Structure 1
């Protein structure tokens, strides 16, 4: 029996374990102390503790100790580290992925450009920063893109629109690249103002075969971080598809690629030209949309492709066993990445302990080879890849992604409808996620019409879900029904001597504000209860018609805190304490940590005078930097942290006393 160690965590570790188990492989998980109770640890046949997922020596030792002959790196962490691939090879262990030499060639953006040019693949025009032919930044044709040569995931990347911005942006990108990758080499390229991010899934075996599994469109991204992905690309022509997929295969053949990889391109909306961006030498986060739409012709018929299965077969030396003509497309799929972040409050990272967690209702077999699927009697099948369960702690120590919701349809419209339907049913309490943002974004006219380019989210706001509607639905769940009140003399619907000829008195539900509830109205809104359960100190749900529109929601109550998930968005309401002091609050110039994270810089000292809006310090969590600025002119009276400190949510970082005292 083959033994596979998964050098990763979260949903991708669970995803790999499912396929390995189906193929009869034994699986080994690794975990840090923070992950000792994580789902992937319990699902593997064996688990080994490591100090860090980034510790090459520890991961190789774990593979040796467990007798694993193969290591699947997932994505992130060590998945594209050539030293890791070499260390495994030296230990006689097979990496499920390309060789270290291929990683060296394709992992760096500058080296990958050279391979692309040799393969005849078009590349983005760039500027030389060194040597006798170095270009003076003052002569660049702006805008340009400053990006880390060793980077990925949007780190070490800045758009520069004028020569006056160049020095600061270059220094920031270099600093981020040095911190993230240990390499501050920077590339300068033409910046395409309106483009689409098109990437091609390729797979190569050790017998010289390289195939493509068509393309994905990942244009819906924020600050170079993908948000929604889909396959196939909805806006390219058949000729463009042929050209882009052929270029990807040529590039992979040029570098002798084996295993799963993704070749990324930028399609210029203005000219229709496409340019090579980079190659990711691993499985991608968004690989499920490819698995949902690609069919492979076998002796048993046309089957969905399992990219992890192909990775494992290639790692054992087997040929792919299929030709390019055997690979076809069927339907459309869209994926939404669920993150622990507050998208409607500056995209601030979130952490905490998950309370009630539901990724939908009526889980069924759906696509058992990939994991759970969400479906209803209408046949709406949606794949869920996740690693968040009730009571689980979410830390800023790891990537904020909690799971993925992937919808398939016969066409794009049907896939999108199913995705929105599924996101409506995600309810995560205890911490805020971006699910409501994803649902609102997917329902915009721009996404429906496939007009969003790579920069759209950086310049447009998405309308947040209504807090008022969430309050109405919560009040409906908190108020008793007249049927429940028939035998309750204290009920407001129970007839009394003063109301024998009048309408029943409304129930007054207090959720931040008082909401009167009757059988057919909540405040000013006409309502009709369609189904669900009342909230009584635990979990409640409702399907209701509000002002003629159908809504579903879930609610939980712990003490005086009521949380409501409506259209994916978590809303938190406080039931007022009648004995509490409700006097007005006054801002006092105290700056608290808006998220748990690391203090990157402290720019001021106690006693220092500051101007309104002056940056006092910078903190970082989950790939995001946040500048902390003075709320008004005055003097700094408290500096509560130092550079490098790990701070908790709500920690006092600075206190500013106004200039007028």
Structure 2
């Protein structure tokens, strides 16, 4: 029996384990102390503790200890680290992925660009860091040569912002990748992000599994993905997929990889962006629409199964002509974040979790009721994927599925996703890569949620003959009203379906994916005044990256007092007015909780 160690956690670890188990492989999970009872640990045949998912030596040792001959890296963590690939090779363990040399060639944007040029693949026009910024044709994009995921990237619209944007991108790149080498390229203001799924074996064959459109993104972070791409022509599809195969062949690629392109809406030209040398988060949409001809008919592909097949040295079992497309699929990434409040990361215990389960909807997740969500790892909680015979049916199915997704205890972006998928802009395919950076998605109205909360509070009152029932002599019944979040709300006779949780302090409602929390009046609460405007509280749980001021220091309105980070987001904490800093609570590196007092500023007029 082959033994596979999954060097990852969460939903991707579970997804890999499902295929491995179906194929008869034994599975090994790794975990930190935070994940000792996580779903992926319970699902594996064996589990090994490590200090960190990023510790190469510890992960290789875990593979040795468990007798694993293969390691699947998932995505993130060590999945694109060439030293990890080489360490496994030296230990005689097979990485389910490309070699360290290929990772070096394609994992860096500058080196990958050279491979693309050699393969005859079009690349984005670029500038040298030695060039005079005054000669650039703005806007330009400065981005880290190492890594990805939107880290170390800044769009610069005018020369006056270039130096600051470059410094910020370099600082972020150093923190994220340990490498601040930067590229400067033409920035396409209206474009579509098109990527091609490729798979290569050790016998020289490279196949493509068609394309995905990942244009719905915010600050270079993907939000929705779909397959096939809805706006490209047949000629563009043929050219882009052929370019992806040529690039993979040029670098001798093996395993699953994704070649990413930017399609300029103005010119129709496409440019190579980068290659991800791993399985992508959005691979399910490809699996849902690609069919392979077999003796049993046309079957869905399983990209993880093909990864494992290639890793064992077997050739891909079919050719390009056997692959076709059927229907349309759209994926939504569910994150622990408050999308209608600055996209601030969230943490806490998921007190209630219910995922949709109807036919045509696939959910890859590792979140269950009672599970704690911390800021230590990526904020993605799961992926909801809907398939339909055409794009509109898939879109409608996803709207319904997101509306039935219920996560309480912490705020997620599910309601935001549902609103976005239901929007006219997404329906007519008008959302490009910068749309979410230019436009706001309207927050759902809370009227129905308040009514649902009111209906839940009625049974909490005293029962019996004195309970209000709205009866009035000679008139229509008076409405029964309940205070919800400081407002009197008429109790509906038939409230909308949704989840309601009631405590002595608040009523929590999850309606059509969106979480609402309404405070309840507490007659015993101390009526002490809230913190003044000069008190800056932590708007999210996270890590303090910088403390820029000291007690007694004079500051101007808007001056940055400190910077904190959580779940891939940096947030500057600025002074609300000119004045004097009277308290500095945190130090650099501190882990702070939501609502913790960080700084206090006394206004200048007070003295």
TM-score between both structures, scaled by the size of structure 2: 0.97
Q: Which residue of 2 aligns with 1:111?
A: 111
Q: Which residue of 1 aligns with 2:126?
A: 126
Give 3-state SS (helix, strand or coil) of 1:428's partner: strand
Question: Residue 354 of structure 1: which of 344, 350, 353 is its match?
Answer: 350
**1:391-430 maps to which residues of 2 (within 5 A)?**
391-430=370-409
Establish whether residue 332 from structure 1 lines up as the match of residue 328 from structure 2.
yes
After TM superposition, the runs of 4+ consecutive aligned structure 1 residues lying more than 4 A away are: 499-505, 581-586
Distance 1:650 1:460 in 2: 29
Judged with a 3 Å threshold, the aligned counterparts in structure 2 of structure 1 residues 588 and 164 are, in CA distance, closer, same or farther, namely closer
Instruction: Give the Å deviation of 1:595.
Output: 1.1
Q: Which residue of 1 aligns with 2:568?
A: 623
CA deviations over 1:482-530 (Å, ceiling 9, x no partner): xx99x942332397xxx5655545433221134354xxxx4xxxx552x
Q: Which residue of 2 aligns with 1:470?
A: 449
Q: Which residue of 2 aligns with 1:556?
A: 501
**1:424-439 maps to which residues of 2 (within 5 A)?**
424-439=403-418
Judged with a 3 Å threshold, the aligned counterparts in structure 2 of structure 1 residues 639 and 135 are, in CA distance, closer, same or farther, namely same
Instruction: Give the Å deviation of 1:359.
Output: 1.1
Instruction: Give the Å deviation of 1:468.
Output: 2.1
Question: Residue 454 of structure 1: which of 416, 428, 433 is its match?
Answer: 433
Q: Which residue of 2 aligns with 1:242?
A: 238
Establish whether residue 63 from structure 1 lines up as the match of residue 63 from structure 2.
yes
Distance 2:258 2:533 in 1: 51
CA deviations over 1:324-369 (Å, ceiling 9, x no partner): 0110000000000000001111111111111011113xxxxxxxxx
Distance 2:523 2:375 in 1: 36
Q: Which residue of 2 aligns with 1:48?
A: 48
Distance 2:594 2:465 in 1: 46
Q: Note the residue ranges of structure 2 that are not aligned, 5 or more in a row.
A: none
Question: Residue 269 of structure 1: which of 265, 269, 280 is its match?
Answer: 265
Judged with a 3 Å threshold, the aligned counterparts in structure 2 of structure 1 residues 582 and 465 are, in CA distance, closer, same or farther, namely farther
CA deviations over 1:256-283 (Å, ceiling 9, x no partner): 1110000000000000000000000000
Q: Which residue of 2 aligns with 1:194?
A: 190
Q: Which residue of 1 aligns with 2:167?
A: 171
Judged with a 3 Å threshold, the aligned counterparts in structure 2 of structure 1 residues 234 and 494 are, in CA distance, closer, same or farther, namely closer
CA deviations over 1:52-82 (Å, ceiling 9, x no partner): 0000000000000000000000000000000
Instruction: Give the Å deviation of 1:626.
Output: 0.5
Establish whether residue 489 from structure 1 lines up as the match of residue 465 from structure 2.
yes
Kindly indicate whether the alpha-carbon contact (under 8 Å) linking 1:588 and 1:657 is maintained by their aligned counterparts in 2: no
CA deviations over 1:75-124 (Å, ceiling 9, x no partner): 00000000000000000000000011110110000000010001000000
Distance 2:530 2:87 in 1: 58
Kindly indicate whether the alpha-carbon contact (under 8 Å) linking 1:228 and 1:337 is maintained by their aligned counterparts in 2: yes
Establish whether residue 510 from structure 1 lines up as the match of residue 483 from structure 2.
yes
Q: Which residue of 1 aligns with 2:229?
A: 233
Judged with a 3 Å threshold, the aligned counterparts in structure 2 of structure 1 residues 618 and 381 are, in CA distance, closer, same or farther, namely same
Aligned length: 606
Give 3-state SS (helix, strand or coil) of 2:417's partner: helix
Kindly indicate whether the alpha-carbon contact (under 8 Å) linking 1:467 and 1:571 is maintained by their aligned counterparts in 2: yes
CA deviations over 1:433-467 (Å, ceiling 9, x no partner): 01111111111111111111101101100000112
Q: Which residue of 2 aligns with 1:597?
A: 542
Instruction: Give the Å deviation of 1:480.
Output: 4.8
Kindly indicate whether the alpha-carbon contact (under 8 Å) linking 1:555 and 1:564 is maintained by their aligned counterparts in 2: yes
Give 3-state SS (helix, strand or coil) of 2:151's partner: coil
CA deviations over 1:504-563 (Å, ceiling 9, x no partner): 45433221134354xxxx4xxxx552xxxxxxxxxxxxxx4xxxxxx4321111333211
Establish whether residue 323 from structure 1 lines up as the match of residue 319 from structure 2.
yes
Distance 2:124 2:38 in 1: 42
Q: Which residue of 2 aligns with 1:90?
A: 90
Instruction: Give the Å deviation of 1:151.
Output: 2.0
Kindly indicate whether the alpha-carbon contact (under 8 Å) linking 1:424 and 1:552 is maintained by their aligned counterparts in 2: no
* Bigger Cα displacement from structure 2, 209-218 vs 552-561: 552-561
Give 3-state SS (helix, strand or coil) of 2:15's partner: helix
Distance 2:86 2:207 in 1: 26
Distance 2:489 2:504 in 1: 21
Question: Residue 217 of structure 2: which of 221, 224, 236 is its match?
Answer: 221
Distance 2:409 2:486 in 1: 22
Give 3-state SS (helix, strand or coil) of 1:660's partner: helix
Kindly indicate whether the alpha-carbon contact (under 8 Å) linking 1:353 and 1:394 is maintained by their aligned counterparts in 2: yes
Kindly indicate whether the alpha-carbon contact (under 8 Å) linking 2:486 and 2:519 is maintained by their aligned counterparts in 1: no
Kindly indicate whether the alpha-carbon contact (under 8 Å) linking 1:146 and 1:186 is maintained by their aligned counterparts in 2: yes
**1:145-160 maps to which residues of 2 (within 5 A)?**
145-160=141-156
Distance 1:396 1:114 in 2: 37
User: RMSD between aligned alpha carbons?
Assistant: 1.7
Kindly indicate whether the alpha-carbon contact (under 8 Å) linking 2:470 and 2:479 is maintained by their aligned counterparts in 1: no
Distance 1:306 1:155 in 2: 30
Give 3-state SS (helix, strand or coil) of 2:498's partner: strand
Instruction: Give the Å deviation of 1:584.
Output: 6.4
Kindly indicate whether the alpha-carbon contact (under 8 Å) linking 2:470 and 2:478 is maintained by their aligned counterparts in 1: no
Q: Which residue of 1 aligns with 2:23?
A: 23
Distance 1:19 1:393 in 2: 26
Instruction: Give the Å deviation of 1:429.
Output: 0.7
Kindly indicate whether the alpha-carbon contact (under 8 Å) linking 2:470 and 2:480 is maintained by their aligned counterparts in 1: no
Q: Which residue of 2 aligns with 1:370?
A: none
Kindly indicate whether the alpha-carbon contact (under 8 Å) linking 1:465 and 1:567 is maintained by their aligned counterparts in 2: no
Kindly indicate whether the alpha-carbon contact (under 8 Å) linking 1:108 and 1:151 is maintained by their aligned counterparts in 2: yes
Instruction: Give the Å deviation of 1:602.
Output: 1.3
Establish whether residue 341 from structure 1 lines up as the match of residue 337 from structure 2.
yes
Instruction: Give the Å deviation of 1:308.
Output: 0.5
Q: Which residue of 1 aligns with 2:176?
A: 180
Question: Residue 137 of structure 1: which of 133, 137, 141 is its match?
Answer: 133
Distance 2:19 2:431 in 1: 34
Kindly indicate whether the alpha-carbon contact (under 8 Å) linking 1:512 and 1:575 is maintained by their aligned counterparts in 2: yes
Distance 1:411 1:591 in 2: 49
Distance 1:579 1:175 in 2: 49
Distance 1:181 1:92 in 2: 27
Q: Which residue of 2 aligns with 1:363?
A: none
Distance 1:292 1:587 in 2: 53
